[in-house]
Amino acid sequence: MEMAPGGIPLAEGGPDRDGLEMDVLTVRLGPVLPHWPAGLVLHCSLQGDVVGSARAELLDATGDLQNAADGPARRLDRVASVLALAGWDDAAGEARRVRDAILDGGPEPTDAMLARLRRKVCRSWVLRRSLRGLRPLDEDDIDHHGLPVSAVGDSYDRLTRMLDRAVVAGDPPGHESGPAISTDHLAHLVTGLDLATARLVVAGLDVHDLRAGQVEHEVAHG
């Protein structure tokens, strides 16, 4: 009997977090996925729609995904991704229009456009309620997972901080980008989340520098 009809694996049994038996399905997110970091692949074992375990890898020749051009336009790309995944297409489209105006370098009053976008986002209590409490990270988490200081807080904090950094066209004091994020830590951050929330968290982490983690190296060279 075909165990992977159409190339899609069937779910298998496995214990969930309560110790009960339930179906486990293995899925792959990326490397080409809307509102997803280019080149990143996340192998997830799903129990229902919850990520029971995950393994991240980078699909590039050097084992690193780095982009030095991390200016306002790139940050607005990530802002647009978070807003789109949160279901606010109108604001996501506005973020993309501001990004395009910045890239075009034309006479558009981009400062005013940025300020208007930030006010719109910060005044939305629906968005705030949707993102508050999603994968909160304190300073100990930042140190343990090798994340930049700008990742402190929850998904709402990280979104507004990305907007702030786009408005000032640089990193405010105390919010340096820090080292590249290890794929080992990235996989850990989505474990225990439902799939939609996991995508929101990844989009909101302001990921532009990634490096292959120890587990990925062991898999590649083992």
Domain count of the fold of the chain: 1
| pLDDT 10s digits, 96-147 | 999 999 888 765 678 889 999 999 999 999 999 999 999 999 999 888 877 8
Tell me which residue of 211, 102, 203, 101 sits closest to 155, measured CA to CA.
Answer: 203
Residue-number span of the structural domain to which 172 is assigned: 5-221
Residue 156: in which H helix or E strand, if any? Answer: helix 155-167
pLDDT bin (cut points 50, 70, 90) of residue 50 is very high
Query: φ and ψ at 202, to 5 degrees?
Result: -60, -45
Q: Using alpha carbons, list the distances in angstroms from residue 62 to 84, 136, 159, 211.
A: 31, 31, 30, 9
